[in-house]
Amino acid sequence: DADVTQTPRNRITKTGKRIMLECSQTKGHDRMYWYRQDPGLGLRLIYYSFDVKDINKGEISDGYSVSRQAQAKFSLSLESAIPNQTALYFCATRDRGLETQYFGPGTRLLVL
């Protein structure tokens, strides 16, 4: 089984809809991240969490919110989706004191 999973893997939604992307990990890492990837813009950090009670905004947090329900689960919400939130979204985990980030398989989101 994959260590970092994301659901759904693909999603099409309409402008104004609320949508949640979920990330789960079995690696036991305390740090979790949400990124989006756009052609020509690379990976950009949306939110990150160092533990259940420590959540921080990243470079592009506007229009997004997150919830760290447990050490293993980190969800990203788009309260009212807009077309420019169409992107590939990645969750990542990292263990404290170590450098390697482990990425999930990604969620491809299309907002019409």
Nearest CA among 53, 40, 49, 111 for reference residue 76: 49
Alpha-carbon distance 7 to 45, whole Å?
Answer: 19
| From 13-21, 22-30, 55-63, 79-87, span contacting other proteins (CB under 8 A) | 55-63
Nearest CA among 112, 105, 111 for reference residue 22: 105
Residue listed under structure tokens 């052609």: 39
CB of 103 to other proteins, least distance (A): 4
Residue selected from 13, 55, 58, 60 as contacting other proteins according to rule CB under 8 A: 58
Residue selected from 15, 26, 56, 80 as contacting other proteins according to rule CB under 8 A: 56
* Interface ranges with other proteins (CB under 8 A): 33, 35, 40-45, 48, 56, 58-59, 90, 99-101, 103-106
